[in-house]
Structure formats: C-alpha cells, structure tokens
Structure 1
C-alpha cells in the first residue's frame, strides 16, 4: 500500500503532540577503533569500542547509566504524531499482524506459532514478501499453517512455499528444526521466554523480544532491527552504529521508559520505510529535521 496523507488509527499511535522536524546518515569517523560521543545536545555521554561485547556494555551501563538525550521526548512524540498520518508497510503487513487470531478453529498455540514463523521469515525480507510467504504457507500446507503441518511436509516443499523470502533454504531448515524442538520440548507450543526462543534455530534477539511482545503479550525488551538501529543512531540517542543492534537495545533500554519498548519498533520501522531511508533520507519532509544532528538537505 502506498503511503498517503490521511488520518489513520493504529494500536501503536494514539496520543497527540505538537510537530517539530529530521535526518541523514552520519558519515563521521566510523573507521576509528573507538567511537566517542560527548554529552552535547542530544548525544548520550557514552563511549563504545567496536570490539566491546554486549556483556561488557551492560556492565558499563549498570555502573554509569547514560543521561537520556536532551529533548528526546519532543523528538519521539513528533515522530509518533507524524506516523499517525503515514501508512507504512509495517502497519498493514508487519509480523505482528500476520498470525491468525485465536478462534474456534485456531488455537492460541497455533496463533503463537504463526507469529514465530512470520518473524523467522521476516529477516532480511521486505514486509510484503513475508506476508505473501505466510499466506502461501496457509494455503499450501496440509491443514494450514501450524506446527504439525510444518513437521509433515518435507523440507524441499517447505522451501518452495517460502522461496521469495531472503535465505529461504536456510529458513526452511530452521522452520523444520524449530517445529521439531517445539513439539518435543514445549508440548507443541513455542518457548515463553527470550532465552528459550533464542535457542530455536534461526531466532535472534530482535525476533525473540518481538515474539514475546506479540505472541505472549510480555514486554521483555526492545526489538531492534536495522531501522531502529539506524534511526536511533542518526538521532544521537545511541552511539552504537559500529557495535551493532544488541548494543543499541542495551543503550535504549537503559533510559527509554519501559512503557515505550513495544511501540518504538513499529513506529521507527515505519518511519524508516517511508522517510528515514538508509540512503537519501527525506530530510526535507522530516518532522524533526530541526532537532536531528544528522540532518542533510
């Protein structure tokens, strides 16, 4: 669906704020071994080495929690208000929307498994491609998209059903292995902890946290994908571009109110899909351009 400037209602974006303006890829010294940001304007006073592990970062954050970026709430609310008027692919085809709701024909276990499958297929794949693959599984698997159907079909057939998604061969293998593990170790359900989910083949931190939020309705952490990682670094909320998404998650969770941990992902994903592109972001149209340290016209 093409973005259009009409008022929409979304379960993620309901509050109203005034609208200020953002963006451009920060091309500063990314090759240096140590990346440092001083506590100026919206920048967090934290230093992260490229080689630092997430565990080391977590210890450092526990000892010296970073100061929340200046005016972060104003920036956050401006993007949130802007997103209420912009329909992005994530709003209609995001992974949290692809599972069937529990009903007389769909058990809660099947609904949760479908969410897990959708997330596993979504890695390095556009939302509309993931949505089409999920629908293909619904139509072609015996009995529809559920754990037992995944186990019944051979891997080659499963691969053919999801052939449009990125790394489909590996994902077909992961789906078979994960379904087997869920059947044998979780009585046909999916794991109900981040740790358990991450033990499934092909499931990383982003998928695990989003799955907990959507499938289990538990807010255990922020799902940081490429959009959230890129945009929060551009805004100066993190200095973790070289350290990776897990470092971004740790920094964000150290100061962002827990009540926002779920909505920040679809909000920034949609913002990245429609405005704050990896290349040539639409800074002139951005609602926070006057406050973004990476803005370019």
Structure 2
C-alpha cells in the first residue's frame, strides 16, 4: 500500500510533476470557439459526457450564435435541439435564461467575474471556474468535477466530500499557477487509470505515494473505510 508524502503541499507538487510527465498534452475536451459557446457547452456537460456534448453542440452552435438567439428561442424547440443531453428539458430552460440575463445585464457578453457568472441560471462555481479559466484566462479557483473529487480524496489531498470544501482544500496546497492544469491532469488520470470502480493501481504512476493504493489490504479507495 502506498503512502503519501510528509505534507499535502508536497504531495500535491509530486502528483503534479508525475502527471505532467504522463499527460503532457491534456486540456479541456469540450469543443468551442467563443466564450458563449464554452459557457453553453459546460452547462450541458453537467452529468453528461463531453463526447455527447460535442456531438450535440456541433449543430447547436450553427443555429444559436448569440445570447439573443437563446433568449428568444422557443424553450421546447431548444429542448429538442439538445435532446440526448442529460436533463435536456431543464438545461433548455437554463440556456434560455442565460441568454435573457446576458442580453439584459451584460450586453449579450459572457461576464468575467465569479459573482456575475454564478448569478446565471444553471451556473455553479464549477462551471464558472471553467469559463473564467478558458474564456477569460482568470484563475479564480480549481474546477472540481467527479474525477477531481475522487482522486483528491484517494491521494490524501482532502477528506472533504462537498465540491466547494474540496476546492478550498486544494487551493491551499496546489500552486496557483497549476490550478487550471491540475483539473485536466486529474481528469485524464481518472479516465485512463484511476477509474471509479476498477482503478489500475498496478500500472499507476502514483501508486507509491497514494495512501489508497490497493496493495494487499481491502481499503475503499473512495472513502478510506474498510469494505
């Protein structure tokens, strides 16, 4: 069974160093060309695969090119246009509401502050962090998705369960210059090696510094509790 380094700060830096080597080209997998397209794609990606989102937005972005297009859309038609996306009816409402708010309060442009973004319908801190990082080149925090939640706990970087609390623990130990890439590195590792159900600990670059590495003990990799 692996063991973590002396401090969470040292652990975070070592994790980053190794994953940078393992996934040198990792980046956001959503496809977009404008700030609005990114915002829409991230809203659609909640509890949905990036692959499915990219398939859907290919035609969606041809039809809806501005905030006003979403604001004036027929909500049922918009829901049909994103059919296949998880919770497509609810997300259609979010997109229409986002369009209306952008037109009414931001001259149709995607704002560049956490508070303004999280005031938009269907936009939480995770979505806002993605938009700030990739649309505005602003590091306000760390994007905590399901992979980041799982791996951060397994690697001993946090004991928290709620995304906002996990994020706070992470920003305390991850160097600010690495906040954006930290997410992409953990997502890549979570998809390729440290999967939710059957993590490949034998071939993991982090096994020797991972306190949850399977070894010969029956340790729940998600919670650290005995099975």
Q: Do the aligned residues in 2 keep the contact of 1:41 with 1:69 (CA within 8 Å)? A: no
Equivalent position to 1:282, from 200, 212, 226: 200
What's the CA shift string for 1:57-106, capped at 9, x where partnerless?
A: xxxxxxxxxx5344432222112211238x7xxx4x723xx221xxxxxx
Which structure carries more helix by proportion? 2
Unmatched tracts of structure 1, length 5 or more: 1-21, 24-39, 44-66, 101-110
The aligned counterpart of 1:240 is 160
**Counterparts of 2:4 and 2:151, CA distance in 1:** 17
Using the size of structure 2 for normalisation, the TM-score is 0.88
* Counterpart selection for 2:47 from 116, 124, 130: 124
Q: CA 1:170–1:251 in 2, change beyond 3 Å: closer, same or farther?
A: same
CA contact (8 A) 1:227 1:269 kept: yes
Pair 1:264-2:182 in alignment = yes
Match of 1:164 in 2: 84
Using CA pairs under 8 Å that are at least 6 residues apart, name the structure with larger relative contact order, 1 or 2.
1
Q: Match for 2:132 among 209, 212, 216?
A: 212
After TM superposition, give the deviation of residue 134 of structure 1 in Å: 1.1
Structure 1 vs Structure 2 CA RMSD: 2.1
Answer whether contact 2:194 2:200 (CA < 8 A) is retained. Answer: yes
When Rg is computed on C-alpha atoms for both structures, the one with the higher figure is 1
TM-score normalised to structure 1 length: 0.68
Residues 1:147 and 1:282: Cα distance change in structure 2 (over 3 Å): same
Distance in 2, matches of 1:121 and 1:42, equals 38
Structure 2 alignment gaps of length 5 or more: 216-227
Alpha-carbon distance between aligned partners in 1 of 2:11 and 2:101, rounded to the nearest angstrom: 46
* Deviation string, structure 1 residues 215-249 (Cα, Å, up to 9, x no partner): 111111111111111101100011113xx111110
Contact (CA 8 Å) 1:231, 1:276: kept in 2 or not?
yes
Q: 2:35 matched to which residue of 1?
A: 112
User: How many residues align structurally?
Assistant: 215
